[in-house]
Structures are given as C-alpha cells and as structure tokens.
Structure 1
C-alpha cells in the first residue's frame, strides 16, 4: 500500500505547483458554457413538453370519443331495444326485461372496461343498472327529476357531465365523470325509449397520463373547472396546492415561483371536457444534470491539468501501471464484484501477482456459484413439497362437500318434493358454477357468494328450521383467502347444529377488523361439542402434524383441513379457534389484513 499512497501525494504537489493559472481559465469557460446550455435546455423543455401534453390531450379526446361510442352499443342489440320500447305489463315481463337489459349492461358495457363504475338505462317507467361499486349514483331515487336525464331527453347529442368528486367505494371521495345519451326507437326515430348514462373513474385517463414521460423533475396534473386536482403523476409542491386551494388557477404557459422555487409551466385546456392538462418542471431539478456536468467538467479540467503536468512520470507509470490496476480492482472485489480481471502484460513479479489475483477471484466466484446453486435447489425442493401438500389438502374438501349436497337433493326427490328438488338442483348448479371457476386463492367476496348459494340450497331442505345472516365488512371483500375456507365451517354448523336440533337453528357469519388483522366468525345455536371431543379437536388443530398431508379424521376433515391450509399459506400469522358450549358453537378464523383495494 505504501507505493499507492506515495503516488497520490506526488500528484497533489504537482497540482499545487503548476495548475492554478490554467484552472482559472478553464473554470471561466466551463461556467459560460453552463449558462448557455441552461438557456437552451429551458427553451427545449418548454417546447417538447407542450408537444407532449398536446399529444396527451389528443389521446384523452380519443378515449372520450370511445366512451361516447360505448353509449351507442344498445343500438346493436335488438332484444334490448325491444325491451326498452315496450313497457312490461306484469311482474314476469318486468323480471325478464331486467334480466335482458342488465345482463347486456354487465357483459357488453361494463365488464370489458375496468374504468366503468356504473351503467344505467332509464326511461319514465323503469331504471336498469349494473354497478361495480357499493354506492349508486347520488340521484338514483330521483333520476327522473335530474338535469342530465331531462337534458338528454331533449337532444340527440351526447352529454358530458364534468369530473366531480363523489363517494364510490366508501367515505373517501373518488373522481367520477359521466357520459349521457338519448336512445331512440329504430322503428320510430322520433320516439325516445330511454337514456343511457355511463359513470367512469379516472383510471382510463390515468393510464394515458402514466405513459407520458416528462423530463426529470416533471409533474403532470389534470385539473377540473372547480380547481380540483383529478390526477397527479407526483406529489404537488406545497405552494401550488395552497394557491389552488385559494382559487388561483394556472391559466397559461410560462414560469411561476412558488415558495422561492422557480417552475416551468405548460398548460393545455380541453374545454369540451372541462379539464386542463398542466405540466410543471422544477427548474432546480431540471438544471441538476447541468450543474452535475459543470462539476464534472471542473473535475475533468483538473484531471487533465494533472495529466499534462505529470507527463514526465510516464516511464515510471509504465512500470507501475499494472500494480495500481490490481489495487483498483481489489476495491471492486471488496464491493463484491468478482468478475473483474487484471491484464497480465509482463512475466515478472507484478505479472505473477496479476495472475494470482485472477486465479483468486475465479476460485471465489466458483465457490459462491456452487453455494448459490445449492441454496436454490434446497429452496425449490421445499417449495415443491409445500405446493404438493397444498394441492392434496385442496382435493380433500371438494368430495366431502359434493357428497353432502347431493345427499340433500336425493332426500328431496325421495320425499317427492319435485318442485323443491328442481329449485335445489338449480341452486346447486349455480353453486357449482361458482366453485368450479375459482382458483385456490379467491377474494373473500367470492367466498361469501359461494356460502350464500350453499345456504340457500340447504334452506330449501330445512325451511323455517334454519335461519342465517351474513354481516361481513365491505372493506374485507378483496382480501384473498384459500377457496372453500368458510363454506366448510357453515357445512359443519348445518351438520352438527341444524341436523341435531329439532327447534330453529340460527347461523351467524360476521367479521371483526383491527388495524392489521381481521377475523371471520361462524356461530350457531346448536347443542355444542362434547368437552372431550372439543379438547381433542383443538389439540389436532393447534399442534402441527409432522406430515401435513396425512389424512384427517373423517368427522373433522373440514376444520382440520382448513387449519392445515391456513398454516401452509400464512404460517403462524393465521389461526382457527373453536368455542363451544351447550348453547352453541363459534368457529373463528383470524388472518392478516392486507388492506387490498376493494374491487367487484
């Protein structure tokens, strides 16, 4: 290390002795070049950004035109038009009209586009709708008196309801805009048969804006006529947010100063849609690369001066270059880079040192590669074993459920309750449609839909002897759980409570949410579980088996398998608890709360 330190000290003495005058000249030239480049960059940024947001405005207009065309799709379905044109006269016809129109709304107008929140077709007699959200439009009950409905009836042109904030999924407001169009009869063009209204959020426009690539320090905003920010690509500067809160609008391109910071502004107004597209660039951030280049230029100038001043040391450096190269490469090795190689140019002691260095790094790299491969193989083996266990447990539950369901239908047929049996088969078909189309992990809402179908099926058998209610918080609907986790708990409640209780059986499915966990509880008012049986069952649930795939006891396959599946997926973060007495049984599943955004 001593020669390396001596080299650095020698360079320092040369810089102090020779480079002061030359450095002053180079610094002046570098600074003037920086000022010229800064002016050029500012002008180019404003011009390029204006072109960018104009293209974004074109894309937004194209997107809105597609939404306008979406409101024309009812004209391509004669069955929908016929249902709208001829008002149903009885409940059966009304139900059929609702099925046809709302089925069209869901399959054609809503499901293909994720940004569509709600679609309505309304006339003076009926209102048909399909929504993805828990909350309907605010004026649902008084739509016939609303301005958009009456204006649409008076014009054949599509109407645009400017972006505004309203509750969609919960208490937090969401940006919503609407497209409204009048529908007329194909047979009589002067006859208005309805008004179609499409509510959409800003996810579609956000996708367009997310593709816009501004320069460093760039911020893209979409602002409505009420000065509300509908979209932002990055946090808003505090000064701008305060100014907008006071009602000050950014009306034209140029420069502004906020809290002592300079910003470049580009504005594009889309008056047809009551929005402005605003691009902001922080002058400081925009100029940061130039300032960095300025410092690099100064450093380069100093380096060049030093190289010029130490030319007479070329011969010494020729003999010591390979040694210093090895020293530099050793720093890379210290940082973990073992791919570096030293060039062997001589056969002397330094050449031998370079060759030994290369052999050392190659040997270390081989050891690391072997260890990484071994760790990868061990991980894959463990993962495949867990996956095999998971698949085995999933396959154990479905035959158990199918047996109970088919047995119920069989009893109805044997009792010659053919109408009830037909309804049971229809419910069973709907239930299987839900079960067969789910993956191993599904949302809690889909799991509850399966439970609802199952309870309706079972209630056909027990009639008034069975009552139930499902009260689960909507904020949990998007939580992912293994499929058929809750349904076996309800099945056990039916088997051990309803079947053994001659009185009325009541089943409650409720949820409890905390900051980072939530629980689903299934309780009944049955005779409960015998203490010795309960103790044995709790022991088998709480104590992991050495072989997680070993078959469970037939009588408790649902609970034990659920516990095993949850243990495989969540480890110790999940639990299954049973509380039972002579007045009923409660089974509670506790899981981590991931707070996924609610989707429907």
Structure 2
C-alpha cells in the first residue's frame, strides 16, 4: 500500500510536537500544582500560626484569673484553716471573700464559666456556684489537678462537660503552695470552649477546609462542628497517613502532610500552640487546592490543539515543497516503468532534491544507452545465429560425405588381403628355391675354380717337362687361357657371393616391408573405427550446434520483442546526453 512521505513527516513531526507540547503542559500543570500547594501551605501556615497565637493569647488571658486566685491571701488563709471535708464553711469570712472573688471573676468575664479552688487537705472543690461535691469526689484524681501539680504552673485541660452548667469547658489550673512549699491546692477557672471553637472555625481554606485542635493525649479540643468531630474520629481509625500526622502533632512538630480519608486526598498543616501542649491542624482539601489548575489545564489543552493545528499547516506547506518534486519523480518512474525513457525530471534547485533529479536523469540516460546496446546486440545476435545456422547446414552436408569417402577408401584397400599377400610373398617357395640355387651355384663355382686351378697346375708341370719351344708356347698359351678362365670363374663366384649377400639384404628388407604393411593395415583399421566414431560425434555436434543456433535466433527475436516497447531518444540526442567518457566504442560485427 502506498504511503506518502508527507503523511509520514506529518505524523512524525506532529507526534514529536504533541509529545513536546503535552510534556510542557504536564510540567506546567505539575509546576502550577506545586506552586498552588506551596501557596496553600503558606496561607495555611499563616492562618494556623495566627489562630494559634490568638488561642494562646485568649487562653493565657483567661488563665491569668487562675494565677490571680492562686496568689490571693484570702484563699491561702481559708485553705490553711479548713480542716475536714465536711466542715461547714458557709459562715466563714474568708470563704465568703473567696466566694465573692469567684463571682466577681465570672461576672467580669462572660467566657469564664466557673471559678473554683481545689483544696489538697479536704480533697474537695469550692466554687462560685457553691456546688456540693459528691461524697466520693476527690480532686486528687482529677486530670486537670494532676496536670497542674505535675507542671507546677499553669495548665489547660482537655474539653469536658461541666457537671454544674452542662457547658463544654476547659480548665485553666495553677497550683499554689504554702510558706514551706507544701501543696495547698489548685486554683482554676473553667473557660468556655465556644470562643476557641469560634477562632478555630474562622481558620479554613477554600470552601470545605476546616481546622481542629488536639491536646497532648490526642483528643480533639476544638473543631467547627460535630460533623467535623465525627469526621476526625473516623479518619483517625482508617485514614491513610493520619496516624503519622497525629504522632507529629503530639510531638509538637510543625509541618505539611498529605493524608487520604474515605478516598479523598487532603493536605494538613499543623503547628503547636505554645505553652499549651496543644497542636492546631488546618485541613485543606486537595481537589479544591488543584481546582484552580483546571482553567490552566483547559488553556494548556487549547494551546496544544492550536499549536498542533498551526504546526500541521506549517508542516503541510513546508513538506509540500519537498514532496512535490518527489511526486514528480514518482510519476516519471511510473512512465519509465511503462517503457518511456524519453521523459526527464525538471531540476530547479541545487539541494539534495536537485541532485536526486540530476541523478535520476543521468540514470535514465545510462539505462537508455544500455537498452540501445541491448537492442543492437540482439539484432547482431540474430544475424550471427542465422549465419551460424547456415554454416552448420553447409557443414552438415559436407562433413558426412568426407567421412563416408574416407571410410570407402579404407574399405576398398582390402586390408586383410594385403596383409595375407605380404605374408605369402615373404614366405614364398620360389624365393627359397632361388636362394638355394644361388648357394648351389656358388658352391659349383668354387668346385670349378678348384678344378681349373688343378688343371693349371698340371699344365705348369707339363710345361716344365716339354722342351719343344713351339709346344711350350702352346702350353703357355693354354695355361694363360686357363688362368683367364680361372680368374673369370673366381670373379663369377665373387659376384655370386655378392648376389647372395644382396639377396639376404633383400630378404631382410622384404621382412621389414611385410612388418610395415602389417602395421599400416592395423593403423588403417583403427583409423576406420575412429572415423566411424568421429562421424557419430560430428552428427551429434551438428544437431546440438543447430539447436543452439536456433535457440540463439529465438532469444534474439524475443529480446527484440521485449525491447521494442521502450521509447528511447535517437542516437544523436542520446550521444549528447551521455558524458564523453561513457560513450560506447563502435565495433564491427
């Protein structure tokens, strides 16, 4: 399936750009969230520290009443004088004075619920309401009393319900001692929690944010409402990170923690309230902190979409300048695929695209030249195939005739008969008889020569006996004639010996000739067999050569048919298109 480069570039660049823009958007979102969290933390810290200072100031201000009562001489005298738990003190002047003091404090400050003194000696409380203590009531077991004695200073209790008025209060208690340092009792006032709760209720960030106070036992001192109180108690049992938060608050630390309650994320800033062993926590809902980021996220999303659209348009405009020449090259290659080698690319630049166009044109020139060479070669190959077929046809009609003639000549020689005649000639009886007669004639010549020599010797002896001159001359003449005859016979005998020796040489030559004829006959027989084999090979080779020549002609015709659909420039134009070093060298066929 065709895939456009422009589409690929568009996809690649848009992918990278989108990832980049989304990454920037995510980083901006994370940075904005971090900034908002930091701002919220700073605001919560400022509000918490302000509220803690207000609460501390408020409680210390109310606690001053306890300090004042702890230093009152009337209270000291009364405590020292009272002996038993059940002593009637209603008529005691000091008691009346301290009772007046208690009532004045309550009347002076509406945030004071009750003012009272707990006496160590009698283990009972004397308050502004003249509340009668239960029989089993002992102040030494009360938490606020123990805390004051142990602290030897001003302490504040956890909130509790006053048994007299039924209001939720906090006790501010101060121990006081005698002249010798013995514990006399604890002076205390009950402070209404409403004011503290109002201060806590004023501390909140965003719509559902709220604040709360924990004492050193982890009990909730104040919170905006009972719903918030129930929420805090529920979170302490199941919330993620709540136990750690409570531990840090009880240790008097200041910090910022993230918790999860009921699947909802929250931030809590906590700070201790000095001199009270309390800790103030400001709860900030996480979703409301990050709610301000939503418009920014929308703006970032719109920016990303606009950026993608603008970049897409720019990419399309820019890539079209690259892909348009490539599309033209693709169109050219499609026409070349159909056989049109006359088309060329338009080169309008000197960049990589221009170089690609020049390379494409150069390649087409080379391919066109190659096709022309193939066509010429196919044409020449067809001619050569025809000539080869003709030559093979002539050879096929000539070579078998020559082979048959040579075979006929060899057969006409009747080699076996020649061989037999040579053998018969060599072993003929006539030759043997002639040789024997020559030997016998030579022997007779030798015998005649002996006889003639004996006759000559006899005549010589007779010559010596004859004294007659005439007869002696006749005998000398006869001896001379015999001598001549003897010499002729000797010469004839020598010639016979030469004839015998020549006959021996002739006989040896005849034997050699017979052997040579025998070898020739054998060689001709082998040649006859080889001629028959060569005739068979020649016939097979002629058939194969004929088949090859026909195949060559067929392939040249098929090659010409294949190249006939190509459109090429004429030779003169093509020679101009080719560089000088690449022009072909014309060779004769």
Q: Name the TM-score class by shorter chain.
A: 0.3 to 0.5
Structure with max Cα Rg: 2
* Bigger fraction of residues in strand: 1
* Bigger fraction of residues in helix: 2
Q: Which has the higher contact order (CA 8 A, sep 6+)?
A: 2
